[in-house]
Structure 1
Amino acid sequence: MAENGCGSTSCSSGSCEGCASNKPESLLEQPGIYTDVKKVIGVVSGKGGVGKSLVTSSLAVLLNKMGYRTGILDADITGPSIPKMFGVRGPAKGTEEGILPEIAEDSTKIMSVNLLLEDEEAPVIWRGPVIANMVKQFWTDVMWGDLDFLFVDMPPGTGDVPLTVFQSIPVDGIIIVTSPQDLVRMIVNKAYNMASAMNIPVLGIVENYSYVKCPDCDKEIKIFGESRIDEIAAGLGTEVLGKMPIDPKFAELADAGEFYKTENIYLDKAVEKLKGML
């Protein structure tokens, strides 16, 4: 009898389940020789408009101020906002070895499709496979150098790009961003379940728009009603890493291209969680 892939001369359908030859081939892409990233963190949301880029940028800035080397891979190809927030503009430069990321005032390294377009306001009207391939190239062709953390700012939902990122880039964990609205349970569950299906650890949840502080009495006004994020997180076996209010200062600094000046005190728990991963 011919020898099979397990090195055995006989093999039943049940005994072959653990064979190395039956394991799916890894789709992970290798970074370039000029990239050495310790931890890749995805920032995801089940829907748009919840402040995912705000959380991504805040985490990069906070860790950068603590002496960690940070970068942001802007995977939201059709709605890129990271370059504007940090005041960086293209065109990105390249060499025979690869593409150089743009570097913000605080030394955060950034790559986004807006840095490759002649007109940063031009719409990106590409089909899914083209967009997904661009995201892969941001990992394989960009010379990120030595980074402690590379944050991947994902587009909303569970479509082509998040799937490509989870399959192609060695993501060490994700942070889910949401808001205190009635549909939050379903939205968080979608993102959580996708990560679980792809065997990506869920580090925790950040709630944005939790409240707004009255400028006169400092009272917290919960515009979207009472939050249930603690209950939802507990049900999923994860934790809440921060609750961010609506703060006009964040928007002002983002619009001015000076987001690196922010002092986001609401994500301390998330920062400690990330520091503990190194």
Structure 2
Amino acid sequence: MMFKKKTIEQKVLKCLEKAIEETIFKKFIEQRLLVIKEDSAEINLRLPFYAPKWLASLQQQTADSLQTLFKQPAVWNVSYKVPTFEHKKVAKTNPNINNIIAVSSGKGGVGKSTVSVNLAISLAKNGAKVGLLDADIYGPSLPTMIGKKQTKSTSADGKLLTPISAHGIVGNSIGFLIDDKDAMVWRGPMASKALQQVLNETDWPELDYLIVDMPPGTGDIQLTMSQNVPVTSAIIVTTPQDVALIDAQKGVIMFNKVDVHVAGLIENMSVYSCVKCGHQEAIFGTGGGRKLAEQFNLPYLGELPLHIRYREDTDAGMPTVAKGDLPELVDPYLHLAEQVAINLYKDLQPTIEQIKITELK
């Protein structure tokens, strides 16, 4: 029995398959995002996520093998198109927003807002178009954290609010509409209505991701977001100690009940780094976030250190990732942003229309 000899194209695909996670590679092929041009030694890849380190690692791992197959160094032609991922509940209302990601926690004090701001800026630094919505109606922190505390919302047409630009992202918050000394004494339905107005009455530009910094807990705002807003996915932030893990578990259960996809779990304040000697210590315990992720069969998106600079930088309106002077504090967020973007693509299906758009010719 005679077997057909494998073409160079087939061998190149086999080489790439070994270096790319199985589910992701299959989707690349099914959605025609990966095309090999044998004659010109070209690899055309339309990436559905921004992940510079992932891409650099892929190119490095395969460089020698591809050169052997092509008889010359491979030429990578990489373009990007983040798809709109299908979700199960609410119809998409704003064509400019591809995906809405809710960053949530079961309790306060876990650094969720700091994570939200730095994650949004990290996604943007990796290349994505990113917006940030402050969903904490009672205690908005976004204006302070991005250095726009004295800025008030304006409207170009008298109908839609112009989002505030800072550090490569755009954002909006009830804090841009009220005096920071005012107390929001509103019942739950009023707060929920205010949130929907800030979300729906903002003139958002084209966004790959809108990160929503949720208030702590599992109350009215969370139900409004899950039932009335087309949330693509949720991310749970916790810390290693038992009380935080118990509340994070409630958050996971809540999103499961309202049928919102959970992209994974982040363990914040995982290890404390002494600013004087550099000694590291897990003062809140260790391994709790990973165990919780395993319990619910969720991706463990990573650990973020506990460091005074995160607090100082956001208090000063210059988030640590935007400041960028300490790689040991910035790199975990850039890695986290890649994991979030990759896992969304891995877990969820793009809409049919979006697949057609992203096909390579």
With structure 1 as the length reference, what TM-score do the two structures score?
0.83
Q: Which residue does the alignment assign to 1:17?
A: none
SS of aligned partner of 2:98: strand
Please tell me the residue identity of whatever aligns with 1:142.
Answer: T
Say whether residues 1:30 and 2:93 are aligned partners.
Answer: yes
Query: After the TM superposition, which parts of structure 1 deviate over 6 Å for at least 4 consecutive aligned residues?
Result: none
Q: Is the 8 A contact 2:301 2:340 kept in 1?
A: no
Please tell me the residue identity of whatever aligns with 1:271.
Answer: A
How many angstroms apart in 1 are the aligned matches of 2:259 and 2:336? 21
Q: Which residue does the alignment assign to 1:115?
A: 176
Say whether residues 1:206 and 2:272 are aligned partners.
Answer: no
Q: Which residue does the alignment assign to 2:38?
A: none
User: Which deviations, in whole Å up to 9, do the C-alpha atoms of 1:17-76 show, x marking residues without a partner?
Assistant: xxxxxxxxx765723xxx501111000000001011011011111111122111111001
Select the residue among 133, 136, 140 that pairs with 2:193: 133
Q: Which residue does the alignment assign to 1:144?
A: 204
Q: Which residue does the alignment assign to 2:108?
A: 48
Q: Is the 8 A contact 2:264 2:299 kept in 1?
A: yes
Q: Is the 8 A contact 2:105 2:247 kept in 1?
A: yes
User: Which deviations, in whole Å up to 9, do the C-alpha atoms of 1:77-97 show, x marking residues without a partner?
Assistant: 111111111111332002234
How many angstroms apart in 1 are the aligned matches of 2:113 and 2:338? 20
Please tell me the residue identity of whatever aligns with 2:163.
Answer: P
Q: Which residue does the alignment assign to 1:70?
A: 130
Select the residue among 239, 261, 264 that pairs with 2:330: 264
Q: Is the 8 A contact 1:37 1:149 kept in 2?
A: yes
SS of aligned partner of 1:92: coil
Please tell me the residue identity of whatever aligns with 2:331.
Answer: I
How does 1:1-278 map onto structure 2 within 5 Å? 30-31=93-94, 36-88=96-148, 89-94=150-155, 95-104=157-166, 106-117=167-178, 119-215=179-275, 217-259=277-319, 260-262=322-324, 264-276=330-342, 277=344
Aligned residues: 248
With structure 2 as the length reference, what TM-score do the two structures score?
0.65
Q: Is the 8 A contact 2:122 2:337 kept in 1?
A: yes
User: Which deviations, in whole Å up to 9, do the C-alpha atoms of 1:202-223 show, x marking residues without a partner?
Assistant: 1111111112123455332111
How many angstroms apart in 2 are the aligned matches of 1:249 and 1:102? 24
How many angstroms apart in 1 are the aligned matches of 2:196 and 2:254? 19
Please tell me the residue identity of whatever aligns with 1:48.
Answer: G
How many angstroms apart in 1 are the aligned matches of 2:312 and 2:335? 24
How many angstroms apart in 1 are the aligned matches of 2:161 and 2:144? 19
Q: CA RMSD in A?
A: 1.8
Q: Is the 8 A contact 2:131 2:209 kept in 1?
A: yes
Q: Is the 8 A contact 1:139 1:169 kept in 2?
A: no
User: Which deviations, in whole Å up to 9, do the C-alpha atoms of 1:194-245 show, x marking residues without a partner?
Assistant: 1111111111111111121234553321112233221111010002212112
The sequence identity of aligned pairs, in percent, is 35
Please tell me the residue identity of whatever aligns with 1:93.
Answer: T
User: Which deviations, in whole Å up to 9, do the C-alpha atoms of 1:224-274 show, x marking residues without a partner?
Assistant: 223322111101000221211211111121111111324522234431233
Q: Which residue does the alignment assign to 2:27?
A: none
Q: Is the 8 A contact 1:90 1:114 kept in 2?
A: no
How many angstroms apart in 2 are the aligned matches of 1:47 and 1:275? 25
